[in-house]
Every structure is written in C-alpha cells, then in structure tokens.
Amino acid sequence: MTTLLVAKQILMNLYSRYEVYITPLLKFVLAFVSLLLINSRVGYMESIDKMTVVLVAALMCSFMPMNFIVVMSALFILLHLYSFSLECAVVVGAGFLLMFLLYLRFSPKDTLVVVLLPVCFILKIPYVIPLAMGLIGTPASAVSVACGAAAYYMIYYVSQNVSVIAAMADEEMAAKFRFIIDGILNNKEMVVTIAAFAITVVMVYLIRRLSIDYAWTIAMVAGVVVDIMVLLVGDLMFDTNVALFNVIFGNIIAFLLVIVLQFFVFNVDYSRTEKVQFEDDEYYYYVKAVPKVVVAQPHKKVKKINSQKAKPVQKTRR
C-alpha cells in the first residue's frame, strides 16, 4: 500500500510540475479517440474520414477549451449524417442543440462527461460514468450524463437503420422525418438508461455526502445496486431486452474503476477520525475530522566513499 501511495504522490507532483504540457496532450488523446470512433461508426463523408483530418482536428482541440471537443465531435457527426441523409442531419442537429442548451445551463463544467460517455458506450463500460459523476460531481451532473447517453443512442439508432433510411430515398421528406423522430423518441432503451444513470448519479451523490465512515464505498455499492435494479425494472416494464450478464459484469468493472478514482481523489484513514466540539457566542460546532492518507516521498541519499586511504603525513626532524 505504501508503494501505491508513493506512486500516487509522484504522479501528482509530475502533473503539477508539467501541467502545461500534460493537459494539452490529454485533450489531444481524448479528441483523437473520439473522432476516430465517430468516423468508424458513421463514416459517410469521405473527405473527413481520413487520418490526417482527424489529427489536425485533434491538434486544434488540444489548444482550445474543453467545450471545443464537444463542438468538434458534433460537427463531425453532423457532416457525416449530412452526407448520408439531410433529414438525419437536421433531426440529430436539433437534438444536439437542445442538449447543448440544457448542458450549458445546468452543468457547463462537465464537458468531459458528454464526450466520454459515448466512448464508454462503445467500449461497453458506460456504467462507470454515472458512478464517477456521483462521487466527484453534483446532482446537476445527471443532466450532462443524460445528454451523453442521448447523443449515443441517437447515433446508434441512425447507424442501425441505415438500410431502412436509404430505402426511403424516393419517399416524401416528411415521411423520413417522421420515421427518424419517432424512432428516436420511442426508443425505450434510451429512456430507461437515461433514467437509471440519472438516479444513480443523485443516489451516489447523496450517500457520499453523509457524515459516516466509508461513505464513498457505501455510495459506490449503492450506486451499482440501484443502476442494476432500475435497468432490470425498466426491462420488465418496457421490454428493452437488456442483457442481464452485460449489465452486472459492466457494473462490476465500473465499480473497480471508481475504486481507482477514489484512491486518487478521496483516500482517507478512518481509523484516525477525530471529533471536535467547540462554541462561540452564537453557535455550537460539532466537527468530524478525517485525515488524508499521505506518505512522504522517499529521498535517496548517495554517500560517496573514497577507497584510497589518505597517506600519513611524515614529520620532518629539524
């Protein structure tokens, strides 16, 4: 355990020292992976489905604010959909605009969630995001989680119905609009998933704020249980065809990942908890102090030993 704490301290010191270089690098990696996944899922426009274009766009994102990654990802998606179907681009663009307004109004600092959640859906680990945001975010983070989930399901619906939408090319534009809008709004799996993630965020936040020992661990366990239960109840009510094994296994993986997050963000020693009571002229104060686990980074001392013995000084006789 001491080795892990020392490694954590070294990583934190490195980040604080080289933050000006590490932060752009991380933004570049996030933008690069996101744009690559977008091109792999909805790569209908050949002019932007190229590695050079992705590299240039990711490089631009690395020097811009985090919100620019969301804008660039949305732009890539809309350009691909426009190349495939104007109706798809209009419907998804309207959905993006509505989500951006909600996201900027309630949780503008949760940009990373809106980008990471669709990526985690593709990687089959989306359950880690609501757990993590319940631990380090606020109840308003449920809005950004819902926006990220809705963005993924809109793109997923279009990609799954490409052949159907392409076959409707000769029909009226109104019919295509209605087919796309009805398909997105009547997606029961999306509604159940958004509800489960939002409830999980709020539940984890409320429990981890309690003044009890191991509140974060209890909150994580409760969040996993609540997430699984809401998804299963939604499956029974709306027949969403949720894979039970994938839900349970995905939540277990999410629990292990947020344990790592807890180690870096909230690592405390409950065995040394102190409770202090004091007062002033107007109030009594009851304070519970839980110390952080901090290990001093060891310093290596190098001692030089000279193997040559000093020659004795000979005394001269006078």
- Mean pLDDT comparison of 6-20, 189-203, 269-283, highest-scoring range: 189-203
What tokens appear for 239 in the block? 């027949």
Structure confidence at residue 312 as a pLDDT band (50, 70, 90): low
Question: Of 25-34, 86-95, 172-181, which gets the smallest average pLDDT?
Answer: 172-181
Amino acid at the residue 50: K
What is the average pLDDT across 107-131?
A: 86
* Domain parsing of the chain, residue ranges: 85-266
Structure confidence at residue 299 as a pLDDT band (50, 70, 90): low
Q: In this predicted structure, what is the pLDDT of residue 202?
A: 94
What is the average pLDDT across 87-98?
A: 89
Q: In this predicted structure, what is the pLDDT of residue 36?
A: 92
Question: Of 138-142, 172-176, 222-226, 248-252, which gets the smallest average pLDDT?
Answer: 172-176
Residue 23 in this model has a pLDDT that exceeds 80: yes
What is the average pLDDT across 209-237?
A: 91
Residue 209 in this model has a pLDDT that exceeds 80: yes
Q: In this predicted structure, what is the pLDDT of residue 212?
A: 84
| Helix (H), strand (E), coil (C) string for the chain | CHHHHHHHHHHHHHHHHCHHHHHHHHHHHHHHHHHHHHHHHCCCCCCCCCHHHHHHHHHHHHCCCCHHHHHHHHHHHHHHHHHHCHHHHHHHHHHHHHHHHHHHHHCCCCHHHHHHHHHHHHCCCCCHHHHHHHHHCCCCHHHHHHHHHHHHHHHHHHHHCHHHHHHCCCCCHHHHHHHHHHHHHCCHHHHHHHHHHHHHHHHHHHHHCCCCCCHHHHHHHHHHHHHHHHHHHHHHHHCCCCCHHHHHHHHHHHHHHHHHHHHHHCCECHHHCEEEEEECCCCEEEEEECCECCCCCCCCCCCCCCCCCCCCCCCCCC
Closest CA to 43 of 16, 89, 76: 76
Q: In this predicted structure, what is the pLDDT of residue 292?
A: 77
Closest CA to 44 of 179, 165, 149: 165
Using the Cα atoms of residue 312, residue 316, residue 317 and residue 318 in order, give the sign of their dihedral: negative
Residue 307 in this model has a pLDDT that exceeds 90: no
Phi, psi of 243 (to 5 degrees): -80, 115
Rg of the chain's alpha carbons, rounded to an integer?
27
Structure confidence at residue 170 as a pLDDT band (50, 70, 90): low
Residue 173 in this model has a pLDDT that exceeds 70: yes
CB of 152 closer than 8 Å to CB of 121: yes
Q: In this predicted structure, what is the pLDDT of residue 199?
A: 95
What tokens appear for 269 in the block? 């020693």
Structure confidence at residue 58 as a pLDDT band (50, 70, 90): very high
Q: In this predicted structure, what is the pLDDT of residue 296?
A: 60
Amino acid at the residue 191: V
The model's pTM is: 0.84
Using the Cα atoms of residue 137, residue 138, residue 144 and residue 150 in order, give the sign of their dihedral: positive
Task: Give the residues across from 274 on adjacent strands.
Answer: 289
